[in-house]
Copies of this chain bind each other. A is one copy, B any other.
Amino acid sequence: MNRFSLNHATTKHWNVLDAIDECARLGIGIGLWRDSVAEAGIATVAAAVRDAGVTVTSLCRGGFLTDRDGGIDDNRAAIEEAAQLGTRVLVMVCGGIGEGNDDIEQSRDVLAQRLRLLVPHAREHGVQLAIEPLHPMFASDRSVVSTLDQALDIAEPYTPADVGVVIDTYHVWWDPTVWSAINRAGRAGRIAAFQVADWVTPLPAGVLTGRGQLGDGCVPLRRFQRAVDAAGYRGPVEVELFNDEIWARPGPQVLDETLARYRAHVEITSA
């Protein structure tokens, strides 16, 4: 079984139904985003993946639980959409500090409280809330959860089937404690998803769209693959590249290149 999965954000301007067809042809999975799913119609997309036999490896994203209104209704909808699309994994980007606030710890408390409200709904729908630590450069505006250990601390009160973590190399590669945290995540059975992207500089303005194609940067991708495997992870490897130059190119071409880079820089082959 091919573990490679295309996170659709890598080819965000490629019609999602066409991307699903191509993933079916290649025998790979796809990670979906709520906005492009909504644009094509969720019933249509759900039917397309089912008919094509394509595995939806995750849905991005729930979260932003630190926002003023907590987004509880929207997160409940995201859980239902994940179930409808046939994926167990809802990626949670927890949210930043919020305008006018300077208390990151309070924001972390708020997110923990609001996560608690969502867990029963997730369980009911067979969906795992997968907390994604984001690089600390996003700590103020996207995620007050910056390290894998923090994500695991937040997940701790819940059963792994309900709350897991996402390990995205782009966000955690710099962390001197990441290797022990990966072991901890594996021991706890909480690795819900593994995503890969490389780190390149200079970062663009806004820092959101500067992820590097696999092999272009300084992330030891294969070491990460070995580490999550050694921690017991057997799931898909999603490639998620937010990158303006990659987005400007045709989806099929990007997918071909990304698959080749995955084989060269990530995949572990038993020789």
Contacts and interface: CB of A to CB of B under 8 A. Distances in A.
Given A135-B136, A137-B135, A174 B204 contact: no
From A102, A150, A207, name the one whose CB has the most chain B CB atoms within 10 angstroms.
A102
Interface stretch (A21-29, A189-197, A217-225, A256-264): A217-225
A130 B73 CA distance: 49
Interface in A146-162: 146-147, 150
Interface majority SS on A: helix, strand, loop or mixed? loop
5 contacts: A104-B218, A104-B220, A136-B174, A139-B199, A146-B174
A18 B93 CA distance: 48
A102 B265 CA distance: 12
Contacts of A135: 136-137
Contacts of A201: 140-141
From A103, A139, A220, name the one whose CB has the most chain B CB atoms within 10 angstroms.
A139
Contacts of A174: 104, 136, 139-140, 146
